[in-house]
Structure 1
Amino acid sequence: MKNFYQKYKELVFCILLPLLIITIRYDDIKGSFFLNAIELIQTAGIITHSDITQGSKPRHRFDIRYQYEVKGKLYESDRVGFGFKGSDNRKSVESIVTKYTKEKKITVYFDRLNPEFSVLEPERNDRFGFILVVIIIFCCFISSIYLIKKKNK
């Protein structure tokens, strides 16, 4: 097994990395590319937390949390859009935090079949970022195959 890993470690990495990304970002990918397959229902909610935090990439992140109720059960989420978490432009993040101030009554969109899956702005997504990641992973995969073939010669 160790010999197999040594021989094909680049290929293993290029298979595991996309699986890891898909697992971690599944809901954002689902919302960005397959929103038509989800039946979103509207309900009332309330903002419970609204702040700006500092990160490395993006530098400014919004931290917005909200609660909503479906069939008597209370849910909490922090998803404003799909994939979009902030910006290097502070004013862009400030405009979102200003829009969703603490205690503000809001409209929440949730999946009829999975009420835990919710979003405030279903049209806000990061398709470009996800497509870029897919292209990079594809290039890594092709490079790995090339390196493996080159090693085997």
Structure 2
Amino acid sequence: MRAVIHRVKSANVKVEGKVVSEIKEGLCALIGLCQEDTESDLEFIVKKILDTPVFQSQNTLKSLAHENRDILCISQFTLYGKTVKGNKPDFHESMKTENARKMYNIFLDKLRTAYKREMVYDGVFGAMMDVSMQTDGILTLQFDSKKFEYL
């Protein structure tokens, strides 16, 4: 499982021109699932999102959980896209739609249970979404539940 998080001043997601979710200060998290993901991968990413210190507060960094900020999650199968052979993206590692929908909903439930249900927002799984965000500085992090190295 992968998550790319952005610290934001505001963010929203629109489907067919209508805002379906929006937040003020907090995190916008793009969430990708791969074929091998299990619930332990979901739990790992939930913990990383909630506990990683990314908000400046009185000269120290604080986590989402400490700062009581909103989070907007967007399902993003393209996080597992590869362009190793040629230029056409290959999404074979991405979890198939129906399994991904179930796992994504389990992820949201785990996040809402571990945090504050009313502060966790999301888009519309499988829809063509327009995501807008005003970043708060240039903080972007990638979390991956599988062991890998940055090259």
**TM-score normalised according to structure 1 size:** 0.23
Structure ranking higher in strand proportion: 2
Higher normalized contact order (CA 8 Å, seq sep 6+, divided by chain length): 2
Which has more helix, going by share of residues? 1
